[in-house]
């Protein structure tokens, strides 16, 4: 199986400006991500950026980099531009590895590519892991996914899904306001956290850029819902290895530095 890893890396970041170039124990974040991706079975690893500073950094450590347009609305759009620039065939598999995942295990990169290759009915593949706490289940910053028995996604949401009807507290009913709070997660069906790594067939990337934003995508701020809105299937599997969280804040950055020093 032949696949390519593309790492979208924008310099601009609201919470952590210049994120790809942040130093992590002597190496830039983007070099850390690149090196992890190179440990996978990918035939090629490419950084996709719109910033000359990131471009120069990747060239400086001997990596492959593609300069892309600055006005892309999503990382998926940026991937499509790379696929077009490189002339990848419609059935070629591209794995999107986030540029802020310096600890991404290479085995999950291979897993996403292998899962897509072996499920021809899916145009996209991704991963998930069990949610361990009620707090995480209720946290809108943690995206949840529900899949059917064949591993095809039914829905992604920032809301707690599947909703544990018999495990909630109801408050303020007497005042006319019903406030539902999760009391305990179901002990029969573990909720799953979506892990933001994707495998795509290039044909799906080419279709994606021509679809308008879907209403549910706009509501949830989850671009994978655009595929589902347009009838495309997404394969979901539990990750083979623990995937540490990405780097979004200075606190996240320090956590990763501490792990590597």
pLDDT in single tens digits along all 261 residues of the chain: 799 999 999 887 777 888 999 999 999 999 999 999 999 999 999 999 999 999 999 999 999 999 999 888 888 999 999 999 999 999 999 999 999 999 999 999 999 999 999 999 999 999 999 998 888 888 898 999 999 999 999 999 999 998 877 765 544 444 445 455 555 566 657 899 999 999 999 999 999 999 999 999 999 999 999 999 999 999 999 999 999 888 888 888 899 998 888
Q: 87, 84, 47, 49: which is closest to 207 by C-alpha? A: 84
Q: 234, 249, 184, 245: which is closest to 204 by C-alpha? A: 234
Q: Specify the pLDDT at position 178.
A: 44
CB-facing half-sphere around the CA of 215: CA atoms within 13 A: 0
Indicate the domain borders of the chain: 3-127+193-260
Structure tokens at 200: 């795509």
> What is the b/e burial string over 216-236, where b = at least 16 CB atoms within 10 angstroms of the residue's CB?
ebeebebbbbbbbeeebbbbb
Residues in the chain, overall count: 261
The topology under which CATH files domain 3-127+193-260 is Spore Coat Polysaccharide Biosynthesis Protein SpsA; Chain A (3.90.550)
């Amino acid at each position: 199986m032949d696949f390519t890893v593309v790492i979208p890396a924008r310099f601009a970041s609201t919470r952590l400006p210049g994120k790809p170039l942040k130093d992590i124990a002597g190496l830039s974040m983007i070099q850390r991500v690149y090196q992890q991706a190179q440990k996978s079975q990918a035939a090629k690893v490419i950084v996709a950026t719109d910033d000359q500073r990131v471009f120069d950094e990747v060239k400086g450590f001997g990596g492959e980099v593609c300069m892309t347009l600055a006005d892309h609305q999503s990382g998926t759009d940026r991937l499509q531009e790379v696929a077009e620039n490189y002339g990848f065939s419609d059935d070629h598999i591209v794995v999107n590895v986030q540029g802020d995942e310096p600890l991404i295990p290479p085995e999950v990169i291979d897993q996403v590519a292998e899962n897509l290759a072996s499920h021809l009915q899916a145009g996209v593949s991704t991963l998930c892991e069990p949610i361990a706490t009620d707090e995480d289940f209720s946290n809108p910053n943690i995206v949840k996914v529900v899949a059917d028995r064949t591993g095809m996604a039914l829905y992604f949401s920032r809301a707690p899904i599947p909703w544990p009807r018999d495990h909630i507290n109801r408050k303020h009913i007497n005042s006319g306001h019903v406030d539902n709070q999760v009391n305990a997660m179901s002990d029969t069906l573990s909720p799953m956290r979506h892990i933001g790594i994707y495998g795509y067939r290039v044909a799906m990337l080419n279709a994606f850029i021509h679809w308008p934003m879907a209403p549910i995508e706009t509501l949830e701020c989850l671009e994978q819902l655009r595929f589902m809105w347009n009838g495309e299937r997404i394969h979901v599997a539990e990750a083979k290895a623990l995937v540490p969280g990405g780097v979004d804040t200075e606190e996240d950055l320090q956590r990763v530095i501490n792990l590597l020093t």
